[in-house]
């Protein structure tokens, strides 16, 4: 079971390791600045370091188990994560309008479920190669697999995470071979599904949340203000930035949720165009390296798994950076590996562990 092998060390993926941990390290340096006060290291920094420790343990554990065992256990893992999601619906107290935390706020199953979903979909596409999917009706089963957790997350009123989960699952659509008429059909199903939810499932406040996403000007108190302040923060960074702990926008607390959703604007303000381009490039390289791992994987499951992990890391980055730069509407999605948030960091590191797993075993037969 424990597939630790000398070759694993010989083949260690230093590139992935370097890319991931430089992002995490820059994120923590940035967190120290955005939560800076005279009282020394903030509680947030301490917690983030603790989460990093937990995440690393999780990463090592994930790498140690041959990923092909994950294929065998994909179904029980998926079912368990769904049960956990359902349990939050029943058990967890409602906090701040969404009830996705379990066990005293330490576990957020909607984060973990993305990994379980990717395992499940990778297993599905290994058995039904996406290149052979030529009819829309062949998509019904994967759609059902993705629909279950999405429905549960919507019920928890975590619309941002629900959207993310849909996007992660949609990554696999790049590989199916359905004709353009089929694509029209898929879009139609999407629109119809959304309309049905809108009218039958969503309460008015949930509809408002989505409308706020479509039109942030609806609520200038929250999102409009954030967009303006974030743009000023980013723009005023200039070429080289104002320097670490010197960002006026962030240090004077003009930026709301600056250590979570708007962590990247703090970076852009303090490190300027140079610093933020470097971080974006590191991120892009990490994603491209993930695709490289997928290509070199020795089997279809590994490839599909790697692609899913790339999706897990790609989509929130798109939504977050797009929001910070004022291109996309405000959805509370933090930048993976970089922003503050224990559950998110641990999940991202577990996902990286799967990627590393596929990478290390590319020569192991």
Q: Which of 9, 14, 180, 365 binds other proteins (CB under 8 A)?
A: 365
Return the number of the residue (138 or 219) whose C-beta is nearest other proteins. 219
Q: Which of 232, 244, 257, 329 binds other proteins (CB under 8 A)?
A: 232
Q: Which of 28, 145, 213, 280 binds other proteins (CB under 8 A)?
A: 280
Give min distance, CB of 192 to other proteins, in A: 26
17: tokens are 């390791």
Give min distance, CB of 70 to other proteins, in A: 11
Q: How far apart are CA 82 and CA 158, in angstroms?
A: 15
Return the number of the residue (47 or 298) whose C-beta is nearest other proteins. 298
Residue 310 contacts other proteins per CB under 8 A: yes
CA distances from 276 to 105, 113, 193 (A): 32, 30, 38
- Residues 52-91 within binding reach of other proteins (CB under 8 A): 66, 68, 71-72
The stretch near other proteins (CB under 8 A) out of 147-155, 193-201, 319-327, 338-346 is 319-327
> For tokens 């929250």, what's the residue?
222
Secondary structure (3-state) at 150: helix
Q: In terms of Cα–Cα distance, which of 52, 66, 64, 67 is closest to 20?
A: 52
Q: Which of 25, 41, 61, 284 binds other proteins (CB under 8 A)?
A: 284
Q: Which of 225, 244, 257, 329 binds other proteins (CB under 8 A)?
A: 225
Determine phi and psi for 107, rounding to 5 degrees: -130, 130
- Residues 27-56 within binding reach of other proteins (CB under 8 A): 37-38
- Residues near 232 by beta carbon (within 8 Å), at least 6 away in sequence: 249, 254
Return the number of the residue (55 or 160) whose C-beta is nearest other proteins. 160
- DSSP line for 272-318: HHHHHHHHHHHHHHHHHHHHHHHHH-SSHHHHHHHHHHHHHHHHHHH
Return the number of the residue (13 or 270) whose C-beta is nearest other proteins. 270
- Residues 253-272 within binding reach of other proteins (CB under 8 A): 253-254, 268, 272
Q: Which of 276, 343, 357, 359 binds other proteins (CB under 8 A)?
A: 276
Q: How far apart are CA 355 and CA 11, in angstroms?
A: 14
Return the number of the residue (40 or 93) whose C-beta is nearest other proteins. 93
Give min distance, CB of 53 to other proteins, in A: 30
Can you name the residues that pair with 102 across neighbouring β-strands? Answer: 107
Return the number of the residue (112 or 323) whose C-beta is nearest other proteins. 323
Return the number of the residue (12 or 292) whose C-beta is nearest other proteins. 292
Q: Which of 103, 135, 288, 363 binds other proteins (CB under 8 A)?
A: 288
Secondary structure (3-state) at 102: strand
CB 272 within 8 A of CB 236: no
Q: How far apart are CA 252 and CA 266, in angstroms?
A: 12
- Residues near 128 by beta carbon (within 8 Å), at least 6 away in sequence: 138, 141
- Residues 162-221 within binding reach of other proteins (CB under 8 A): 171, 174-175, 177, 205, 217, 219-221
């Amino acid at each position: 079971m424990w597939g630790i092998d000398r070759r694993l060390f010989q083949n260690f993926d230093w590139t992935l390791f370097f890319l991931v941990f430089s992002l995490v390290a820059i994120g923590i340096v940035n967190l120290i600045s955005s939560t800076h006060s005279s009282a020394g290291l903030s509680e947030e920094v301490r917690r983030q370091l603790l989460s990093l420790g937990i995440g690393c343990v999780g990463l090592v554990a994930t790498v140690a188990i041959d990923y092909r065992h994950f294929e065998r256990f994909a179904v029980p893992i998926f079912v368990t994560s769904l049960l956990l999601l359902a349990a939050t619906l029943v058990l967890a107290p409602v906090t701040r309008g969404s009830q996705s935390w379990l066990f005293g706020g330490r576990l957020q199953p909607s984060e973990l479920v993305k990994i379980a979903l990717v395992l499940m979909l990778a297993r599905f596409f290994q058995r039904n190669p996406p290149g052979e999917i030529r009819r829309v009706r062949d998509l019904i089963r994967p759609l059902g697999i993705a629909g279950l957790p999405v429905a549960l997350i919507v019920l928890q009123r975590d619309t941002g995470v629900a959207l993310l989960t849909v996007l992660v699952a949609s990554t696999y659509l790049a590989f199916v071979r359905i004709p353009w008429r089929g694509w029209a059909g898929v879009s139609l199903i999407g629109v119809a599904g959304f309309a049905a939810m809108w009218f039958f499932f969503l309460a008015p406040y949930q509809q408002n949340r989505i409308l706020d996403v479509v039109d942030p000007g609806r609520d200038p108190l929250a999102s409009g203000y954030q967009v303006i302040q974030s743009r000023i923060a980013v723009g005023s960074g200039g070429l080289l930035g104002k320097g670490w702990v010197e960002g006026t926008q962030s240090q004077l607390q003009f930026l709301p949720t600056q250590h979570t959703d708007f962590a990247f604007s703090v970076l852009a303000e303090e490190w300027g165009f140079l610093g933020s381009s470097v971080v974006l490039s590191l991120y892009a390289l990490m994603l491209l390296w993930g695709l490289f791992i997928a290509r070199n994987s020795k089997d279809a499951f590994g490839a599909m798994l790697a692609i899913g992990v790339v999706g897990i890391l790609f989509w929130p980055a798109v939504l977050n950076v797009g929001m910070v730069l004022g291109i996309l509407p405000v959805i509370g999605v933090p930048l993976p590996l970089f922003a503050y948030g224990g559950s998110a960091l641990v999940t991202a590191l577990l996902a990286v562990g799967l990627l590393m797993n596929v990478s290390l075993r590319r020569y192991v037969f």
